[in-house]
Each structure stands twice: as C-alpha cells, then as structure tokens.
Amino acid sequence: MGSLIGECVNVMRSKCTGQRPVHFFRKTAAGAAALMLAFAATPVAAAATQPIVQPPASGQSVADFYRARNNYPLWLSPTAGDAAEQLITLLASANLDGLYPDKYHVAALQQSLDAARHPKNGKRKPGDEVDRAEHDLSDAFVAYVDDLMRDPNIGVMYVDAQLRPKPPSPLVALLYAASAPSLTGYVRSMGWMHPYYAQLRSALASHQYSDDHQRQLLALNLERARSLPPGTQRYVVVNAAQQRLYMFEGGRMVDSMVVVVGKPKYPTPMMTAYIRFASLNPYWYVPPDLAAERIAPNVLKRGLRYLDDLGYQVMSDWDEKAEIIDPKTIDWKAVADGKVEVRIRQLPGPHNSMGRMKFMFPNEAGVYLHDNPERELFTEAARFYSGGCVRLEDAARLGRWMFGYDLDWESAGTEQRVPLRNPIPVYITYLTAIPDGAAIAYSDDVYGRDAARLAGTSSAAPAGGTSAGQR
C-alpha cells in the first residue's frame, strides 16, 4: 500500500468548480481496494507467498463452476483450441505484469496438461487426468485474474467507492471466460482487462521498444492501464498525458476528441468517478488568486465597466443565499496586491470560462469536464492550459453521446441541472505510452510523474494530482 494518492487539501480554489473551488490539493492515503464485481475493474501485483486461490465465498469457487456444468471441461473442451497453452504462456511471463511466475506452478501445469492430452496407460483413467488438468488450469487462471484485477495503487482518486478495483470471484471469472465467443481469443486478448493492457503487454513481451527507457515506460504504463475497466459498459477515458478524451461502448472506442488539461503547475489528477449530471449555463466561480492575477488588474486599467462587459459579479460568499456586493466598495489595488481576497462569479454567456455546459462528478478536487469559449487552444499541439479541469473540444457531442439527445442550453435556465438517468464512469488517467493501431504512441512526461515513479519517488506532480479547478 503506501502509495501516494494525492496530498491533503490546503488551498481552496478552482476555475472549474461549483460552489467551493479547490485548487491545490495534497492528500496522503494508502491505496484503495475494490472495483465492481461485474468487471468495471482494475488489478495489481500480488505477493509470491500467497496461495494460488484464496478461500472463495460459498457457491463461488472453481469447484462450484464445474459442478454447475456437470464437470464438462473448459480448457480441454473440443472448442477450446489452444487456450490452455495460451494461458500457460501468460503465466510463464507473469514477470511482465510485475507478478511471480512461480506462484502459478507453471511447470506442474504443463505436466498436468500434457498428461491430459496424452494419457498413458496406468491406474488413473484418462478422465481423471482431464479433471485434474481442468481444475489446475482454472485454479491458476482465477489466481492470475485475481492478481491483475486488484487496485494497482498508483495514486488514482476513487471518488465513487463502487469504481474501486475488485477482482471477481473464481466462479464469475470462469463464467466470463466460458461465455466468450472464443476461449482462445479471450485468453490471448486478456479479455478480463482493458484492451490497452493486452496491447501494452504484447509490446513489452515482443521487445517493441527502442531502448531501455522505452521498456521502462511500457512497464510503467502497463501498470497504469490496470486502473482502466474491461467489459462492454459505456465509459469515458481522459488521457491527460495525450490531452485526449475517448468514449467507450461495447468493449471498443467509439469516439474521441482533443481536450485541454492542467498546466504543469496545476496537473489534472488521476481520478475515477461517476458523471452524474450536466449543468447548463453554469456560473464560473473565480478562484481568489485568479481574481488577483487577472481581474483586479483589468479593473484598475479599464474601470468597473470591465466587470459589466464580461459579466462578473462580486459576491458576499459562496453560499446559495450569497448577496451581490457593489464593486465600488472594493479596494481593487489591494486585491491586485494580494492583500484583500474577493469572491467573484461570472454570469453565463459567451465569455463565461465554463462555456455553455459542464459535466459533473462532484469531488473534493473541483475537477470537471466542461465547455470553453477559447476555441483556439484546441488547435494547438500541446494543450496544457487549464488549472486542472478538462476543457472539451465538443461538449455538445459528448453530451449527446451520454444523454442520447442534444442538451438544450439555449432554453435552459442558469445552472440548470440535467441528471443522467444512468451515471457514466469517467477514468482520468496519465498514459505516456498508449496503443496506436499496431504501434505504441509515446507522449511527453509533462507532469513529471514518469520520472518520479522511475526514480522511486513521488516528488514530482503526484499521480493523484495537485490541482483542481479549470483555468
């Protein structure tokens, strides 16, 4: 455990928040532990001293799986192909996963499989050898799945406990395998993991790298890929390193768009949460430091008209019953000098930094996905401009995919909430090596997380992030 998730919150700010912007959060925490049993999951390396299979809950064991199918074979069935050999190959190279191959007794598994495929005359019946091999292979398979689908403990903030990684029971793991169209294909593609995982692992196994540094990056990002879900449910992935958002459905990527993410000073955190609602025509609650750095100097230069032109209001506080303060009563020179803190919100409109809509997964970091009027930023190659939030190239398109219809901001009221009937998970990650067709695309380590991880430290931008709040 002992891995850093973030750092404890010590400054409240954000440009992309709702009522209380947080900008710089630091929080130490031991790693998390539990993802949906139905497979929106993750993984991790397990100790070599653990037994292959932990005692399962009643009715959830390997024996229960075979009992339910009258001992009909899985690995040695007529349609299984070379799935057993594929599994043994994976287990023999489990060091690529950060695991110990010896834990899975690979040599004994191979002997058991050989005995079942080529039975010798003796006291044991051929069926006995098949049964033994079946159970040995299934025991090893569920142990491997269990190890991979645990929280990798890399600093992800799990906003919703249901999205914490948790491996399935032995019965469920085997049922997924048995229900796959092709068992061989399921094992080869590591169908219990996110598609990125098997592709990164394959690149690592086949030495698809140019030097040792790239090899290390593949291994590092393979670990991060464990925090992404398998399965066919709908979900969003934001890769901050690549500054890109992906929409997944039916086990594949169906759409994507470029995004703007946090500056190196305010890195977008790795986070997993449910998107629960959209907010149409939102206010922007200006963080106090931006009020001092950006707004106050413009007021001094252009007068109070600047506030009216851009729709800024000075507020008494961030409560729902907050009162509007006359800006004439504010010492704007003191605000610009950082001696006086002022609370400002921006009304919905064409200049609002939140754009016309934002997609909310309330969290203490104040990070959201939102529209943005500064369209020129999306054409740039490097898009690290926000204070931590994710600015969307096409917020309306993402909303249409999530809700199934166009969100009508034009006839909506101020900060009108539109709930998602079925909340959609969003996984904000940091993959500096990611599959790109048959190749691997590498991104710069802008947040310094690779360097810190490879150095065995957490001194650079913590994997859990140090920001919140769009800019």
Enumerate the active-site residues.
370, 389
- How do strand 252-262 and strand 271-280 relate by DSSP bridges? unpaired
Contacting residues for 127 by C-beta, under 8 A, at least 6 apart: none
Which of 235, 192, 259 lies closest to 42 in space, CA to CA?
192
SS3 for 361-386 is CCCCCCCCEECCCCHHHHHCCCCEEE
Q: H helices within 236-356, ranges in order?
A: 288-290, 296-302, 305-310, 332-336
| SS3 at position 334 | helix
Token pair belonging to 417: 């909430």
CB within 8 A of 275, min separation 6: which ones?
Answer: 236, 359, 360, 361, 369, 402, 420, 423, 424, 425, 426
**DSSP H helices in 193-331:** 195-205, 212-225, 288-290, 296-302, 305-310
> Which helix (H) or strand (E) element contains residue 328?
none
Q: Determine which helix (DSSP H) or strand (DSSP E) holds 448, and give its type and residue range.
A: none
